[in-house]
Amino acid sequence: MISSDFNIARLFRDVVDPQRGEEITFIIDHPHGKMKDNAAWADRRQMAADWYAGIKNLCAEVGAVLNPIVSFPATGANNADLPVHGEQNGRQVVLHDILKNSNVCFALTEYSATAPLSRLTVDYPTLRAASLPGVNRGMEKTALAANYAQVAKYANLLAERLNRAETARVVFSTGHEFTFDLRFRTADVDDGYLHADKTGMRVINLPSGEACIVPYEGERKDEPSRTAGQLPVQLTGEIAVLNVEHNRIIGAEGASAEAQDLVMTIRADRARQNIAELGLGCNPSAVISGKVLEDEKVGFHWAYGRSEHLGGVVGPEQFAKPENILHVDIVYARGCPIGVVSLTLTYPDGAEELIIKNGEYTVF
């Protein structure tokens, strides 16, 4: 059941603004084979059904078409490509065909579909999509209930600064330091706006609220990336440290089995070693919940792996095999075990601007 103080029809109208004749499709993923279900995942599938029911009257009122929900076998990895087939009303369908004919897709999934949906919006220019990996009912009372006009204002203010900056230097609460090379890149905003006239990337996360940019990945001849330093990662009982040169993870420090598992995960494919994102979450209603979807909207985060969906050059083709594809975010916002002492942007004229101090933004 939808939270009593949450109005999905109002959120859908504000975020999507469905138009007469537009086709709306909800997609969900389900466990299969040896993949185990869990209570949160099962409730998310029910949540999709509740939201679906909650917007029926709105769609009828504006003359939009609400398609039956499509379920597909889970990919098993965040941002892996979607499978060919899904199921709709008990019959097998080709997932891409359904999305090709849709104008709006809402993806309430266990494993993030943001990257493949981003690519599909390029292939299918009439499609726009909201990706909600790991969404839960608690977010109906926090980040989903935000003032999205304010969220958009913050996101655009941060994106404007990222677009002007050449580097971003981070000092972590562990004492480690890291520099992101922001040259040759354009920042994007996840501002909760998914109307038909949306320009640029036509995929958003819900909850929304961040500015993000892909660090320069060194694809230009004789122009190596300057992204380098040490990235601390909190594990159970230990902090692992990833060493980075030229925007690639080249090694790690950490003795525990969990640290070694992290190293093996990253080393399993050269494309996984890519630093894929610098993100600045800015949703004032978001809280650290243990779900990356909401956690990353609280503050600073970075990611490794796939980047082409955010404006980078590392996509599925750069991975050795499809099952290796991933994009993993790691968050350092207020309330996380490791925080940010400072984040300083350096501009082309040499001027510097401190935009995060002790985990808090200084610019709004």
Supply the pLDDT for residue 271. Answer: 98
Helix (H, G, I), strand (E, B) or coil at 224: coil
Q: What percent of the chain has pLDDT over 70?
A: 99
Please, what is the average pLDDT of the chain? 96
Identity of residue 206? L
Q: Is the pLDDT of residue 314 over 80?
A: yes
Average pLDDT score over residue span 323-335: 95
Express each pLDDT in 144-169 by its tens digit. 999 999 999 999 999 999 999 999 99
pLDDT of residue 255: 86
Distance, in Å, from the CA atom of 336 to the CA atom of 287, rounded to the nearest integer, reads: 10
Place of tokens 């996509």: 315
Give the C-alpha separation, 170 to 279, whole Å. Answer: 12
* pLDDT score of 172 more than 80: yes
In contact, 169 and 161? CB cutoff 8 Å: no
- Read off the pLDDT of each residue in 16-21 and give the average, rounded to a whole number: 97
Which pLDDT score, from 0 to 100, does residue 200 have? 86
Give 3's pLDDT tier (boundaries 50, 70, 90): low
- Cα–Cα dist 306/115, whole Å: 8
Nearest by Cα to 346 from 114, 154, 179, 157 = 179
Burial class (CB in 10 A: 0-12, 13-18, 19+), 348: exposed
Contact indicator for 51, 8 with CB cutoff of 8 Å: yes
pLDDT number for residue 340: 98
Euclidean distance between CA atoms 75 and 323, whole angstroms: 9
Q: Are strands 85-88 and 91-94 parallel, antiparallel or unpaired?
A: antiparallel
The C-alpha R_g of the chain, in whole angstroms, comes to 20
pLDDT digits (tens, 9 = 90+) for 244-254: 999 999 999 99
CB contact at 8 A, 96 and 17: no
2 band by pLDDT with thresholds 50, 70 and 90: low
Query: pTM for the complete prediction?
Result: 0.91
Name the one residue in this structure whose structure tokens are 């792996």: 305
Residue 263 has pLDDT above 70, yes or no: yes
Question: Tell me: the pLDDT tens digits for 82-129?
Answer: 999 999 999 999 999 999 999 999 999 999 999 999 999 999 999 999
Q: What is the mean pLDDT of residues 256-283?
A: 96
What local confidence, expressed as pLDDT, does residue 5 receive?
76
Structural domains in the chain?
8-140 (3.40.50), 145-361 (no CATH)
Distance CA 112, CA 97 (A): 20
For residue 70, pLDDT beyond 80: yes
Quick one: pLDDT at residue 4?
A: 63
